[in-house]
Amino acid sequence: MQSDGLSGYAEPAVAADAAAADGTTETWVTFQLDEQTYALHIWEVERIVRAVEVKPVPESPSHIRGVVNIQGRVLPVVDLRARFGQPTRDIGLDDHFIIANTSTTSVVLPADAALGSLEVSGGFVPHDDDERTRCLQKIVPVDGELIYALDLERVVFRDGSFSDRDFASVLAELEMT
């Protein structure tokens, strides 16, 4: 399975044990963070690339690791570990960057591994009240594992700490110092 874009992914697997009564399915892109599998709607994912160096941005929220320049586009890096209140770690060159699009901006989400695509039906909405579950759209059981389907808008904008800053000018300032 390739991770340089969605075109290299295998045919989506269908989660039979998560079937909805109406039979509708959704396609999700799955990735791993620590031992947990997460998913984003396939239409939110622009592509997946290998990790590159992240430039820190002063005075950013703790879950904004910095910015990256990917083919001339300066994008903020949203650290899901920090966002969910979990211990963070350095981003390694073996990690992947998921370039994802919200309704107003594009962001980069670091992941330990890009797993592929998955077609699912159903799932359940979590009722826990911690930071991670507040950012989930639903949880989908697949082959005895729980896949956490993220609500990207909530991940990026939920607490109001993310603003659509001009990250290109921030990067230019950082490179001049």
The domain segmentation of the chain, as residue ranges, is 6-176
What are the tens digits of pLDDT across the range 108-133?
999 999 999 999 887 756 666 655 66
pTM: 0.78
The pLDDT of residue 125: 66
**Residue 154: band (very low, low, confident or very high) from pLDDT cuts 50, 70, 90:** confident
Q: Is 107 helix (H, G, I), strand (E, B) or coil?
A: strand
Helices (H), 79-120: 80-83
116 φψ region: left (φ > 0), alpha (ψ -120 to 50), beta (else): left
Distances (CA, A) of 11 to 1, 7, 82, 122, 141: 10, 10, 32, 20, 19
Q: So what's the pLDDT on residue 161?
A: 57
Q: Could you give the CA distance from residue 162 to residue 77 in angstroms, rounded to a whole number?
A: 11
Rounded mean pLDDT of 66-71? 91
CATH of segment(s) 6-176: 2.40.50.180
* Range scoring the smallest mean pLDDT among 6-20, 71-85, 107-121: 6-20
Q: In DSSP terms, which residues pair with 42 in a beta bridge?
A: none
Average pLDDT score over the chain: 79
Among 41-50, 53-62, 117-126, 143-152, whose mean pLDDT is lowest? 117-126
